[in-house]
Chain A
Amino acid sequence: MTALADPPIVEARRDGERSLVVAFAVMVALLVVGPFVVYPVFLMQALCFALFACAFNLLVGYVGLLSFGHALFFGWASYLCAHAAKRWGFPPEAAVLFGTLSGAVLGLVAGSIAIRRQGIYFAMITLALAQMMYFVAVRAPFTGGEDGIQDVPRGHLFGVFDLSHEMTMYVFILVMVLASFLFIYRIINSPFGEVLKAIRENEPRAISLGYNTDRYKLCAFVLSATLAGLAGALKALVFQLASLTDVYWTMSGEVVLMTLVGGLGTVFGPVVGAFLIVAMENYLAQFGQWVLVIQGVIFVACVLVFRRGIVGELAHALGVRL
């Protein structure tokens, strides 16, 4: 019997929590100062994608389910929020709620079908379902086809706060995204989250302990889809636009990219990844199609060199949780 060299360090866990608190404080500070330095719409866009990537990471990073169809929830929630706000005259909070719930319902349907398969088949089914709904979006009259739904009114939040003010809108988005971020953190650190991690680590063993793993996976899928829906709904209000780009498969690919670059299964990775990718798209826009090539190179570099993603590598180097 080989004995372990050192006795276990019980304090490690507590230090891990501290690093998360510090990182969260830094993130909030940057986001509070941010709009005075950078263009607020850019920050809001990045925040929406950060939430989208966090929702995606909940599934792939903590349950081990790689969905390649998350644009379905993001894009359709965006359409339905825009439709509710523009044509039905919903106030922003109700429109966002409506979009979010539509993400939940779509997640329930798509998840019930997809979790029956594993690995690459799971990814393929989610992709197929998302593409099917993309073509519905192309054809359905209410989505406006190629034009999308334009001039979506931001309205007055709770009838009081005028969201057409950029800063008011920014605060609204920031609060929603931070609250969702904390909610996701709570999910992965709940009794439910513990079971999810067990399923990721060894599903047959989790089954043999008496867990009905399909139900846990479905529940996680619905939570992820709901939060992806929230991200899509918020984005519709930020840009006052819902368009085909958001339901197309490239959007599903982009969220995979953001999560991988930032760090799969890390708490802050998806946020960092989202900001980086969105920044590249904005600030490298002058290079036109070359943005895709640059993205491709970064992606390849990440897979080859930074296997854990930016935040994952950082956390590993510092020996903390991030």
Chain B
Amino acid sequence: MPRRSALYALTDNADNGSGWGKRVPGDTVLETEDLTKDFAGFVAVRAVNLRVARGAIHAMIGPNGAGKTTCFNLLSKFLSPTRGRIVFDGRDITALRPAEVARLGLVRSFQISAVFPHLTVLENVRIALQRRRGGSFDFWRGKSVLRTLDERAGVLLADVGLAAYAHVPAVQLPYGRKRALEIATTIALDPQMLLLDEPMSGMGREDIERISALIKSLAVHRTVLMVEHNLSVVANLCDRITVLSRGEVLAEGDYRTVSADPAVREAYLGTGHA
């Protein structure tokens, strides 16, 4: 069987299976209404109304402590909002548990690279594939039943340039490769939408270019919402940018609009330096 790109395989899947591929790009896939998180008096996220268009690469930027990661934790349900509503793909997910949100196709990554360090690279990806396969409570079966997933895992790894490292424990990978592995693991779930928390943090330029290209190719068939500090990455990659500051939305629009906004300049550089 000729090796095919995982991305194409996923598209076929989407068209025949779950049906989300048929939906119109451009409509809203994720929406928050008055999203607020109050940590015992400290309001980390205040009345955020966010709309992410289907198929977009949407960035969330802002100075340190602006509430970006809290926002991500709320969207992926790792935190429960104090107030407000989250609607994903037409469904209210405000009351769901994090694992349920992930199963609906809204999958997050983490700021610090989230791999399973003492599993091999292949096993990392297989864990994600295994969840979709089902039967993960089968404690009486040998894990050889999982070998059917290896081929698919190999394709996913090849797409992020990790094919040669399949049997290396993830802990031994350099940082940039770990992030690539994390992305491969996330894609293995074939999610509708990815929440990437600073996917390029701590990476060298070469890695940044590779991961940027990867994210771009991913977004052809799905939506990406990412937190990113590197503004040149954001400028090149993202269709739409939301700027958060002190838990509130300061500005929204494409890179040009946002970067020209005086309030954004002030938030980034401080008063008097604008």
Interface residues of chain A, those whose CB is within 8 Å of chain B, are 1-2, 4, 7-10, 12-13, 186-187, 189-195, 197-198, 201-202, 204-213, 215-216, 219, 223
CA distance A111 to B143 in the complex (A): 26
Asked if A191 and B130 sit within 8 Å, CB to CB, the answer is yes
B42: A residues at CB distance < 8 A: none
A205: B residues at CB distance < 8 A: 110, 114-116
User: Is B24 engaged at the interface, CB distance under 8 Å to the other chain?
Assistant: no
- CB closest residue in chain B, given A265: B118
CA distance A225 to B107 in the complex (A): 34
- CB closest residue in chain A, given B164: A7
CA distance A60 to B238 in the complex (A): 44
- CB closest residue in chain B, given A6: B168
User: Is B172 engaged at the interface, CB distance under 8 Å to the other chain?
Assistant: yes
Contact flag A208-B110 (CB < 8 Å), given A190-B142, A202-B117, A223-B139: yes
Contact flag A194-B189 (CB < 8 Å), given A4-B165, A186-B142, A219-B137: no
| 0/1 string, B113-141, CB within 8 A of A gives 1 | 01111110001001110110001111111
Asked if B107 and A204 sit within 8 Å, CB to CB, the answer is no
B99: A residues at CB distance < 8 A: 207, 210-213
Asked if A210 and B142 sit within 8 Å, CB to CB, the answer is no
Contact flag A201-B172 (CB < 8 Å), given A191-B145, A209-B128: no
| A-B CB contact pairs (8 Å), 26 listed | A1-B174, A1-B176, A4-B168, A190-B138, A191-B135, A191-B143, A191-B145, A192-B138, A192-B139, A194-B119, A194-B136, A197-B116, A197-B118, A197-B119, A201-B116, A201-B119, A205-B114, A207-B98, A208-B76, A208-B78, A208-B109, A209-B185, A210-B100, A210-B107, A213-B99, A216-B137
A193: B residues at CB distance < 8 A: 139, 143
Asked if B167 and A12 sit within 8 Å, CB to CB, the answer is yes
CA distance A269 to B140 in the complex (A): 22
CA distance A186 to B166 in the complex (A): 24
Asked if A190 and B164 sit within 8 Å, CB to CB, the answer is no
Contact flag A190-B139 (CB < 8 Å), given A1-B207, A197-B116: yes
A114 to chain B: closest CB distance in Å?
19
Q: For B78, B102, B165, B176, which residue has the most chain A Cβ atoms within 10 angstroms?
A: B102
Q: For B99, B118, B164, B176, which residue has the most chain A Cβ atoms within 10 angstroms?
A: B99
User: Is B206 engaged at the interface, CB distance under 8 Å to the other chain?
Assistant: yes
B123: A residues at CB distance < 8 A: 194
Number of interface residues of B (CB under 8 A): 50
A211: B residues at CB distance < 8 A: 99, 131, 136
A206: B residues at CB distance < 8 A: 116, 127
CA distance A52 to B137 in the complex (A): 23
B71 to chain A: closest CB distance in Å?
15
A12: B residues at CB distance < 8 A: 167
Contact flag A191-B167 (CB < 8 Å), given A208-B102, A209-B128: no
- CB closest residue in chain A, given B206: A1
| 0/1 string, B79-114, CB within 8 A of A gives 1 | 000000000000000000111101100011110001
CA distance A222 to B169 in the complex (A): 30
Contact flag A195-B165 (CB < 8 Å), given A201-B118, A204-B78, A204-B114: no
Q: For B137, B139, B165, B172, which residue has the most chain A Cβ atoms within 10 angstroms?
A: B139
- CB closest residue in chain A, given B116: A201
A8 to chain B: closest CB distance in Å?
4
B9: A residues at CB distance < 8 A: none
Asked if A194 and B165 sit within 8 Å, CB to CB, the answer is no
Q: Identify which of residues 132-178 in chain B touch chain A, using a CB-to-CB cut-off of 8 Å.
A: 135-143, 145-146, 164-168, 172-174, 176-177
- CB closest residue in chain A, given B161: A1
Apart from A8-B165, A9-B167, A206-B127, list 5 A-B contacts with CB within 8 A: A198-B119, A201-B118, A204-B78, A205-B110, A211-B99
User: Is B26 engaged at the interface, CB distance under 8 Å to the other chain?
Assistant: no
Asked if A1 and B143 sit within 8 Å, CB to CB, the answer is no
A8: B residues at CB distance < 8 A: 164-168
Asked if A210 and B141 sit within 8 Å, CB to CB, the answer is no
CA distance A205 to B111 in the complex (A): 11
B135: A residues at CB distance < 8 A: 191
B138: A residues at CB distance < 8 A: 190-192
User: Is B204 engaged at the interface, CB distance under 8 Å to the other chain?
Assistant: yes
B131 to chain A: closest CB distance in Å?
5
B123 to chain A: closest CB distance in Å?
7
- CB closest residue in chain A, given B138: A191
Asked if B115 and A202 sit within 8 Å, CB to CB, the answer is yes
A10: B residues at CB distance < 8 A: 167
CA distance A250 to B116 in the complex (A): 34
What are the 7 A-B residue pairs with the smallest beta carbon separation, nearest first? A210-B102, A201-B116, A192-B139, A205-B114, A210-B103, A8-B167, A212-B99
B146: A residues at CB distance < 8 A: 191, 194
CA distance A297 to B165 in the complex (A): 43
Partner of A195, one of B136, B141, B173, B176: B136
Asked if B131 and A209 sit within 8 Å, CB to CB, the answer is yes
B97: A residues at CB distance < 8 A: 212
Q: For A9, A192, A193, which residue has the most chain B Cβ atoms within 10 angstroms?
A: A192
